[in-house]
Structure 1
Amino acid sequence: MKRFFKLFLQGIVMGFALITAIGGGTIAVLMGIYDDMVFAVADFTKNPKKSISFLGPILLGVFTGVAVLIYPIKLFLEFAPFVATSLFVGLTLGGLYVFKETTHKKSNTLNIILLILGLLLVAGIGVVSWFNSSASTLDIGLVGNIFFLAIIGFFASSALVAPGISGTLFLLSIGYFNYLLDLAKKVLLFEQENWWTNFGLLASFGIGLLIGFFVISKLFKYLLTKHRTATYFTILGWIIGSMVICYFNGDIKNAYLSLEGFEIWTLVFSLLALGVGALISFSLLKFVSKKEENLKLEQNTERGDQNDAVGN
């Protein structure tokens, strides 16, 4: 029950991240459950019971987090976009502490190149989304669009698996975010005109998303098993890139346009929010890390005492 509740709470935090430009995968890394999550998805067909017991509470938490937090977070982002964004970036920045174990003293030329390439890839998505935040379906007919949306869904699933890559920003960058949002709205409100067509288009995107999720999870399982350090340097690049594009993407563009000259208090409160967010996440992770170290030390001491008792 304790494990279920812990995973459920972590799922809520991931749900919070999904609403922002940070992304659920990023938070999974910062909370130390990313590897287990990828392996649980990749091994679902081999050991479904074990995978469900791990993924179930997380997914429940994600849905709960999105449902409960989407409205207040959207209000916060609309009322003070730069302060809210800075708080989210600060929470991510302080969480980079978790990379200490996997990247410390391992920064060779290849790993640095992978980090930079990862950063540029994600930053590029943000730049493209800035200039391309609206689109419509291609003129390739209904069947063509169904297949095309399935392909988009497949690649969009990488945002669910790869930390630092926001699904929202990926869809904004190719001009399909608002289109899919409009489709979902029409389907959920049961608008009679073309309902089945809209449902089919949305379902094809969902199927592509699901297939991609399992395929890409298997790829990441291989990378984490065979090339763990290099993969984590790439992930670090993605996460740093995601912090950059939080301030430069199609979603926040209107906030810049609405500014009336340089606003000093916006800058001050944004910097404060950045610092507070970083301090909160760093302190929490440091506390959890110390607690886990003490627990391991106690367990090792107990094992040593038991071995001494057996020896005597």
Structure 2
Amino acid sequence: MEWRNIYRGMLMGASDVVPGVSGGTIAVVLGIYDQLIEAINGFFSKDWRKHLGFLIPLGIGIVTAIFLLAGTIEFLFEHHSGPTQFAFLGLIIGVIPYLLRKSEARYTFKAHHFFLLIIGVGVVASMLFFRSDEVAPITDITLSTYVFLFMAGFIASAAMILPGISGSFLLLVIGAYSTIINAVSEIKLDIVAVVGLGIIMGILVMSKVIHYFLENYTTATFAVIIGLVIGSIFVIFPGWPTTFQGTIISIMTFALGLFVAFLLGRVEYNDVQA
């Protein structure tokens, strides 16, 4: 068992409850993205024990963070939104150099790869135009509600493992975010189970798609992934602080995010390459 994946999973789980931040992006930050995709795809292969040893601790961390840290993350975004988003900005910007190095972009990228990168930036940045007003949690649960929540989980989880595309943001857009967060915080097992099944199905399907492209179009896929990560900067950016105190705090949290990315890059990427 790769028990260090528990803390990695907690970072991914905490980010997945934040509209605008992608668990896939955090997996890139941690240097385990391609390993994650390979493990999900290999779950039903003859090497399933090895992949299970990678996925179980990661899953424990993700579930733990969602149930224990969702309230904290929501509190930070509700009361300290700007500085919190600047911390995520620093984290994401700080990992881009490592991602460029991992993909050997300096030597492998050609004109069409930069074009794909720009498309990736545009796809995520365009999500700014799909912001939706939050709706109250659904209280009248019917069969159609369960179908809707299953599909919401499927769509969101497919996005969760794509760097830069926030599953929580998509839940916000389609009007399911508050219902699911409320179900998690109040432990409504029926809703949690239905959404959870949708999440599992979505991850299995999308991971196969991503695995195919990583195997057959590695450089092009990295170009798109880098573009998606860069595009997430535009989605997360909260705007410049309006007060001097807010500016100083945001600069400090941004620097903290950069520092954490530097540490993770030194530890995680070096371990992955070793």
Q: Same fold (TM over 0.5)?
A: yes
Compare 84-93 and 274-283 and name the one that shifted more: 274-283
> TM-score when scaled to structure 2?
0.83
What is the match of residue 113 of structure 2? 111
1:167-246 equivalent positions in 2, closer than 5 A: 167-183=167-183, 188=187, 199=190, 203-246=193-236
Q: 1:247–1:134: structure 2 CA closer, same or farther, 3 Å change rule? A: farther
Contact 2:94 2:262 in 1 (8 A): yes
Paired AA for residue 29 in structure 2: L
Contact 1:22 1:243 in 2 (8 A): no
What is the match of residue 102 of structure 2? 101
What is the match of residue 304 of structure 1? none
Structure 1 distance, partners of 2:83, 2:137, is 32
Q: 1:118–1:135: structure 2 CA closer, same or farther, 3 Å change rule? A: farther
Paired AA for residue 116 in structure 1: I
Deviations, residues 190-240 of structure 1 (Å, cap 9, x unaligned): 8xxxxxxxx3x6644433322121111111111110011111111111112
Aligned-pair distance for 1:26?
Answer: 0.9
Give aligned-pair identity as a percent.
Answer: 27
Q: 1:97–1:184: structure 2 CA closer, same or farther, 3 Å change rule? A: same
Report the 3-state secondary structure (helix = DSSP H, G, I; strand = E; otherwise coil) of the residue aligned with 2:44.
Answer: coil
Looking at CA atoms only, which structure, 1 or 2, has the larger radius of gyration?
A: 1
Structure 2 distance, partners of 1:86, 1:35, is 26
Deviations, residues 5-52 of structure 1 (Å, cap 9, x unaligned): 322222222223223332221111121211111111112111332221
Paired AA for residue 238 in structure 1: L
What is the match of residue 39 of structure 2? 40
Aligned pair count?
A: 268
Contact 2:158 2:205 in 1 (8 A): no
Structure 2 distance, partners of 1:12, 1:155, is 21
Structure 1 distance, partners of 2:179, 2:188, is 16
Q: 1:173–1:124: structure 2 CA closer, same or farther, 3 Å change rule? A: farther
> TM-score when scaled to structure 1?
0.74
Aligned-pair distance for 1:56?
Answer: 0.6
What is the match of residue 53 of structure 1? 53
What is the match of residue 286 of structure 1? 266
Q: 1:113–1:135: structure 2 CA closer, same or farther, 3 Å change rule? A: farther
Structure 1 distance, partners of 2:93, 2:211, is 25
Compare 55-64 and 106-115 and name the one that shifted more: 106-115
What is the match of residue 264 of structure 1? 244
Report the 3-state secondary structure (helix = DSSP H, G, I; strand = E; otherwise coil) of the residue aligned with 1:59.
Answer: helix
| Residue 29, structure 1, aligned to residue 19, structure 2 | no
- Which ranges of structure 2 fall in alignment gaps of 5 or more residues? none
What is the match of residue 135 of structure 2? 134
1:156-167 equivalent positions in 2, closer than 5 A: 156-167=156-167
Paired AA for residue 110 in structure 1: H
CA RMSD, aligned part only?
3.0
Contact 1:114 1:234 in 2 (8 A): yes
Structure 2 distance, partners of 1:178, 1:65, is 18
